[in-house]
Amino acid sequence: MSFSDALQLLKRKWLLLILVPLVFGISTYFFARHLPKTYSSDTTLYTGIASGYSLTGNAEANFNTTSNAFDNLINLIKARSTGEEVAYRLLADHLWQTSQQPALQAAPEYNSLRENVSEDMRKELLGATPSATLQNVRRYAQANNTNALYWLLNSNDPTYSLKALATLTVSRIGTSDLLRLEYENINPAICRQTLNLVTQVFLQQSRGLREGQTSSVVAYYEAELDSAKNRLTAAERENLAFNQDNNIINYDEQSRNIAIDKDALNATLTTVRQEYEGAQAVLQAINQKLGNKQAALLSSSRVLEQRQKLSKLNAALADQQLFNTQKEANNAKAKELQAEIDKTSQAILSNVNQYNDQANTAEGIPNANLLAEWLQTMILVETNRAKLNVLTQRQNEFEKEYRRMAPLGATLKGIQRKISLAEQNYLAVLASLNASKASQKNTQFAGSLKVIDPPNLPVTPKTNLLVLLLLLSTLGGFVFVVGLVLGLGLMDKSLRNPLIASRRIGLPVAGVMLDTHALATQRFIAYQQRSLDQLVHQILLKANTPPAPVPFVVGVFSVQRQEGKTTLCQALAQRCHEMGVQTLALYPDREDIDETLEAPSLFYPSAMAAVQGWQLDKLIQNAVPKRMTEISQPNVQVVLIEFPALLGDALPVGVLRQLNLIFLTVPATRTWRPTDHQIVERLRSATNAPVEVVLSGVELYQTEESLS
């Protein structure tokens, strides 16, 4: 549906668009004329959420956080628990005030108390103090869901019910830190008192909620901190015990020193081994030069004893020189050992000289020189042998130390990792605890809400609710009618206008016939004449286009009966006759036609024509004239034949092949069904004439576009 179609549809229903809103407005006025006046009071609270000051400085401007905080406050104000507490306090205040000043019971603000709370219940709820009265009211209302106070709280009472408190509205003022609370009631005093109580209850609940949350968090982190501290202490104790058990001062330093000492030991061992092997080779060569006699002499018991002593002294000196870390003691001991070694060497040399009875060796070398060389080499061999033994022993000790230290490192790293994790956990919990305590203090110092504008006592009512209801009801009636009309128009599946008919039927629309039941205004008659002339011009154009047969035969069909084909056929025949075109109209059977028509007309027996398969000549010969002047068939230019309905009636198929044009009349008020499409397709297969649609019963506004 286009916009112009919608406007036309609304234009046709102008009476409904006026009457329905008018009825709605009158009904609203009749039923709402006695509504009580409504008063409104408001208050303003400062929150400090967006730009307030806290322990950490100015509040950070975070849109999501700020919006969430304001949403929490607004929802807390409008929570059921807040409303119930306000109702309890309002009722308790009224009970206490009327008990202290009985004359107040006649005041308008105590109407609900007089009407809904019996005298016996008032005595039962009244306490010795206002606080005791409030406790009695709260306990009585929460005892069960069948007592009178519970029902009063959930009723439609304008003072003490949750429904009355539903008129409370809360909104943020722009992007500021301010909240505006507004409450409406039929009594101005109740309005201000209720808003005061709402503010008190809300501030108390907000403070308790915020501080309660932070207290719970602080308690949780304190417990977690104790647990983390115990785990850290246990890990440190385990580390201390492990180091004490394994004599570890600094594992990394100790392992590095052992590695350095081991490398130095290996290098020294290699050097000493080389010197030892070299000296031993030299000693062996000297022994060969001395011969057997001298060798036996040098192997005597006294010399061997002195050589063993020399070996021990060299071993002790090597141990002092290589591994003793106390420098002063090492120097004194080394000097002492070196003196003993020199003394022993001289003793060996003296013993050897005593047995020196030969001047020369077998090679002619003096024995005195060889013995001196032998003694020096022998001392070098013994010295290197002693060093080699000491270094080998120390190498074995290093290997044992390596095997001992290797697994200790892995265990120690595990203990250190445990300490590190426990320490990190402890520090994280400690940081969270400090942040929670800071947040708790920040909540206490900076999170308190403040009343900027206390609730005022309204003296004039708000805008008259009756006027607003009248406007809303009238507008609602108008919107309802518009929606109903447009909705029905959208759901309308009828053909309505030529454009829709052409799209749904799938055939070209030759023209339209206006609704004959419409008011025959001058505009209607003009459009009807134009639409008829359009159809006649199409017939004449095709009849005069060579090679056009004479006469030009036009068939008028409809799918069902009473779809306007007789009216169309009569109108076309009359218009052609008025234009001077020799026209003959044939109608099935003896249906009534307009007696005022001047166009020649014949009636043929449709059943006989269908059975006999008459062609046009036979059809005319057997037709009965109803209004005929002298007709000469060769002079007839246009023949209009109305056929029976396609659905259910027999057709004179003999004439179908002689048709030159077919007009299919379809009412604009009907829908196009698949069965209609099948019937038309069978008609198109039975004739070669083009089939065009004439939309009948079209409303005037639907034809303006097609005839403009």
Report pLDDT digits (tens) over 81-121. 899 999 999 999 999 998 888 888 888 888 888 888 888 88
Report the pLDDT averaged over residues 421-442.
Answer: 81
- In terms of C-beta distances under 8 Å and separation of at least 24 residues, what long-range contacts does 393-396 make, across chains too? 394/265, 394/322, 394/323, 395/262, 395/265, 395/266, 395/269
DSSP state of 356: -
For the segment 406-415, the average pLDDT, to the nearest whole number, is 75
Q: Helix H segments across 506-631?
A: 522-543, 565-578, 606-612, 616-621
- The mean pLDDT of 19-23, rounded to a whole number, is 89
Q: Which residues pair with 666 in a beta bridge?
A: 695
SS (H, E, C) 157-214: CCCCCHHHHCCCEEEECCCCCEEEEEEEECCHHHHHHHHHHHHHHHHHHHHHHHHHHH
pLDDT value at residue 205: 82
- Least confident window among 247-251, 576-580, 691-695: 247-251
Lowest mean pLDDT among 150-154, 323-327, 372-376: 323-327
pLDDT of residue 135: 92
Amino acid 517: pLDDT: 61
Per-residue model confidence as pLDDT tens digits over 251-277: 667 667 777 766 777 777 788 777 777
pTM score, whole prediction: 0.43
Average pLDDT over residues 640-650: 84
Residue 388 neighbours by CB distance under 10 Å: 19
Mean pLDDT of all residues belonging to the chain? 78
More confident residue, 639 or 466: 639
Residue 343 banded pLDDT, cuts 50, 70, 90:
confident
Q: Which of 350-364, 440-454, 471-485, 584-598 has the lowest mean pLDDT?
A: 350-364
Q: Average pLDDT in the 559-584 region?
A: 85
Range among 143-157, 277-291, 407-421, 630-644 rated most confident: 143-157
If phi over 0 gives left and psi between -120 and 50 gives alpha, with beta otherwise, what is residue 697? left
Mean pLDDT throughout 576-599?
A: 75
Give the mean pLDDT of 638-654.
Answer: 85
pLDDT exceeds 70 at position 206? yes
pLDDT in tens, 525-555: 777 788 888 888 888 888 888 877 778 899 9
- The secondary structure of residue 300, as a DSSP letter, is S
Q: Would you state the pLDDT for residue 632?
A: 45
Give percent above pLDDT 90 in the chain: 3
Backbone angles phi, psi at 699, to 5 degrees: -75, 155
Three-state DSSP class for residue 485: helix
Considering only residues 513 and 187, tell me which one the structure prediction assigns the higher pLDDT.
Answer: 187
Instruction: Choose between 659 and 53: higher pLDDT.
Output: 659
- CA separation for the pair 141, 95 (Å, rounded): 15
Per-residue confidence band for 627, with pLDDT thresholds at 50, 70 and 90: very low
Report the range out of 6-10, 48-52, 122-126 with the highest average pLDDT: 122-126
Confidence class of residue 246 from pLDDT cuts 50, 70 and 90? Answer: confident
Q: If you ran DSSP here, which 8-state letter would residue 104 be given?
A: G
Task: Supply the pLDDT for residue 582.
Answer: 86
* Cβ atoms of 163 and 155 closer than 8 Å: yes
- In the predicted structure, residue 426 carries a pLDDT above the cut 50: yes
Higher pLDDT, residue 470 or 50 = 470
Q: Which fold has domain 494-707?
A: Rossmann fold (3.40.50)
Per the structure block, which two tokens stand in for 679? 């019937």
